Amino acid sequence: MVVKRRPLPRADRVKRRHTDDPSAIPSRPQLLRLYQRDQTDDREPEREGDPPTHIAGGAGRRPTSPYGGGGGGGATAAGLAGRLTSDISSVNGPLQLAKLVSEHGPYLSGAQLSQALAALAGLVTWQAGSGTWSAEQAAAASRTGRRLCLLLRPRAPDLDAPSAARAAYCLGRLGLYDAELYDGLLRGAAGRLHLMAPEGLAALAGGLAAAGHVPPPEWMDRFALEVYTRFGRFNATELAAVLYGVVRLGYEPSAAWRERCLEAFRAAASLPPAPPLGPAMAKFGFALACMGIFPIPAKFATALLPALKRRLPPTAPPPPPSSSPSAAKQQRSQAQRAAGLSPDLDLDRETLSESGSGSGSGERLGGAETVSVLLSLVALRIRPGPDWMEGCLAGLQPLLPSLPPPLLADLAWALARLSYQPPPPWVAAFCARLLEADAAKPAEARAKKAAEAAKGSEGAVGEEEAGLTAA
């Protein structure tokens, strides 16, 4: 018979407060005292009519201990580990995590340390979106990351497969690089790659690529072999992370490996419950361009361009179409010019018109990021349709005053390579921005000369004072 624990009265329940209060984390002596107090005999006696409790080693008492100690057996190491694991997963901020690591860090296992790294990475990601941390919390997060690296070094070779993948991925997300720690993770993972799930392999590749830690060639050969045997089990996001990591690490897989990866990505991206594929498409396209795989598959581009369009700068509502003869003539000439081109990939308008039907716009791209998108399309030999380019330039036009001259040059070069003629109002705004940038050059040069002159005069005064002091 399964005996369920009777819930405590409402007044005795501990209310969970979602505040970053380090005092909520017990110290090591306090935690041991909690265990000792839990083993005392001042519990609620059994009432008549209650079902008998028969627990092995529990001296016939109810399992009321929330610490895993059972009853009558004293505090156990398993109970302490369970309590610490629960505390790691329930921290509300960097101050609590810093207190937990500083108090119990030497007693944490390798899996618990990797879990703490994952908790820290989640907190940092949340802070990047909200921006509500204080200076004390930011310092605590940085200090905790360095402390976790030091604690994880001796335990890295003995980590199990999921913990090693989690640790590598979280180190990359946090921007923490420790060569000794990564070497230990690679040594430990070398004999456990066959035990890793597809998400673990993707996390390991993403963490190594983010840190720029290049494994030995033998290790990469084994990694590529394990990925090859699991290509059918990856989803699109995981495949993009794997291929992106392989490219960033400078590894060149075989032609059969690349072909199988493309087939698996097409199959995974075409599934009906496909997740948002914008970042995955960008990573996968970058990897294909670096490997020199051209032309890009049409299915890949038809998924990439709508995902990018949903993140372009917002545009003003278009004016009503004009029925004047000049406007109709201009539209016909543009259509004829577009029909005469022979791009590597020219997408039809019906496919691109579906790009606005996505739910959830996500974060919008800025001016510099939009120019980078156009340059990437040139590198991938993808030529978007007129509707896509019109929406892109319409959203970019209000951001032209904020673009520096080098980005303006990149933008003009990308438009020339894409063989797209912007409308006259956009060209006028672009030329006006070029004239402003050209007129600002003399003022910047004068300011630079004035700063150099001021620095030179300060140096001369300092030398003169030094000479007087020596005299």
Mean pLDDT of the chain: 74
Runs of H (alpha helix) within 70-174: 77-89, 94-104, 110-130, 135-152, 161-174
> Does 375 score more than 90 pLDDT?
no
Instruction: Judge contact between 155 and 113, C-beta under 8 A.
Output: yes
Q: Comparing 75 with 450, which gets the higher pLDDT? A: 450
pLDDT at 341: 34
Hey, what amino acid is at 188? G
- pLDDT tier, 457 (very low <50, low <70, confident <90, very high otherwise): low
Encode pLDDT of 281-318 as tens digits.
Answer: 777 777 877 777 766 666 666 667 776 776 677 765 54
Are 383 and 345 spatial neighbours (Cβ–Cβ below 8 Å)? yes
pTM higher than 0.85? no
Q: Do 98 and 140 touch, CB atoms closer than 8 A?
A: yes
Residue 430 is encoded by which pair of tokens?
């672009």
Per-residue pLDDT, 26 = 74
- Per the model's pLDDT, the better-predicted residue between 24 and 186 turns out to be 186
408-415 average pLDDT score: 91
Distance of CA 427 to the CA centre of its chain: 37
Tens-digit pLDDT profile for residues 32-53: 776 666 555 445 544 454 444 4
Cis peptide upstream of residue 295 (ω within 30 degrees of 0): yes
Q: For 144-178, what is each residue's pLDDT tens digit?
A: 999 999 999 999 999 999 999 999 999 999 989 99
pLDDT band at 273 (very low <50, low <70, confident <90, very high): low
Q: Residues 313-326: what's their mean pLDDT?
A: 55
Phi/psi class of residue 339: alpha, beta or left (left: φ > 0; alpha: ψ in -120 to 50)? alpha
Angle CA 349–352–354, to nearest 5: 115
